Structure formats: structure tokens, C-alpha cells
Amino acid sequence: MSEQQNSRSIRSLVTPDEALANLLDLFRDLGITDFYFPPTQIDPVVAVQNSQNFDVLEQLRIQEIGNCIRCKLHKGRKTIVFGEGNPAAELMLIGEAPGADEDIQGKPFVGRAGQLLMQMIKAINFERKDVFIANVLKCRPPNNRPPEPDEVHTCSPFLFKQIEIIKPKVVLALGTFSAQLLLNSKSSISFLRNRVYDMPFAKVIATYHPSFLLRSPQKKPEAWEDLKLVRKTLQEN
């Protein structure tokens, strides 16, 4: 075994806990026994806003939506996917409707499309916990068929209430259904994307749905342009 291979295999025998213990031994030998960790900086105004919004969102979910049977989708759903994330997020992501994974787990965008979405927002320095993610519909349509007008009509007022509570600076509409609802338009996603719309509730930017990007990866550079526009708009507002 070469010297380099040997030192690599010895290094890999030390676990992170052992490495920390060795470091603490070294500090003790040097006479260093006290450690100072600065308190985590939490802006009190942001903390209050977070907890107030959290309570109002909980009220919406439990008291207003409850065990919803307002439309036919309740018959086939396993879970109502309310949405999740930072209750005072600057950025909201809005998709179409829960799929099979989301229906089981009760969380939006946890399947393959969700993984891609997380990579997309990471590219503009956001993590899942920073944003709020929701859908036009809160229940899974059978076999992931497109939302029907009566379902959008019944369910979307709850989405608009969520936006009103969270007050994001920017809403990123993912795909045709979300973009057409939020922009009150019938145009195609390729026409609507890559512009900033000053809507009464927030600035809206539309991009392709991550499921579409999984099927059409050649469109990813355009989605990247849209994400850069999101970042720029957040920086400027």
C-alpha cells in the first residue's frame, strides 16, 4: 500500500465523534476549558411575525378548511396538502396539485419534481425551510389529471388567503395552471414566463413546472433565466 493510500485509510478510521474528542483533548492539554458560542441572531420582529402568521395559517387549515368535502376530489384523496414552509416567507412557490407522493405524505413537492424544485431554489440561495410551498389545489386529482374549473374555483380562495397571510414579496408560479390562475390569464406558460407582474397581492413571476422540466430538460436554461429574475426582483424590493 502506498503512503498516500495508507494515510487515507488511517484517516477514514477516525469517526467525526472521535475527531471532536481528540480536538477537545488537545484544548484541555493546552489549558482551554471554556468555550463561547455567540447567541443565534433572531430578529425579534421577524420572530413575532413568524409566530403570528403561523397561528393564522393554522386557523385557516384547521377551522376554515377542516376535513374539506367541498369538491369531488375529497373522495379519492388520502391527505389534504395545505402547503408548508416559512410562514413569513419572502418567496412563495405555487404548483398545480398534489401527486401520489404528496397525497401520502401530506406535503407539497416531495416527489421527483420536488427534488428538482429544491435544486432550482438552491441555485438562488434558498432552502426549503426559507420559502412557503403550496398548490392551486390541495387534494390530488385522480391519476394526476389536470385540475377542473370547478375544483380551481372552490379551492383557490384558500390559496389566496394563504398569500394574504404570508405576504411574500414574490410568488413564483410553477406551470400553466398556477400562472394562469395567479395572473388571471389564458396565455401559455411560454408566453407568461420571464416577466415580473405587479399583482395586488405580490409580484408574480411564472416559470415551467418542474415535472415538465423533467420531461423536457432542454428547457432548463429558460427556467434558470426565470430564477435569476426572481433573485433580482427580491434584491430590488
Residues forming the site for ligand URA (CB under 6 A): 95-99, 102, 108-109, 113, 135, 211
Shortest distance in whole angstroms from residue 181 CB to ligand URA: 12
CA 139, CA 80: separation in Å to the nearest integer?
5
Shortest distance in whole angstroms from residue 87 CB to ligand URA: 18
Shortest distance in whole angstroms from residue 150 CB to ligand URA: 19
| Chain residue at closest Cβ approach to ligand URA | 95
User: Quick one: 135 or 156, whose CB is closer to ligand URA?
Assistant: 135
Interhelix angle 44-59/149-166, nearest 10 degrees: 150
Shortest distance in whole angstroms from residue 170 CB to ligand URA: 18
User: Quick one: 85 or 99, whose CB is closer to ligand URA?
Assistant: 99
Residue 203 parent element (H or E):
strand 203-207
User: Quick one: 87 or 114, whose CB is closer to ligand URA?
Assistant: 114
The string of DSSP codes covering 204-236 is EEEE--HHHHHH-GGGHHHHHHHHHHHHHHHHH
Tally of CA atoms within 13 A in the half-sphere of 192 that contains its CB: 25
User: Quick one: 97 or 202, whose CB is closer to ligand URA?
Assistant: 97
CA 25, CA 16: separation in Å to the nearest integer?
14
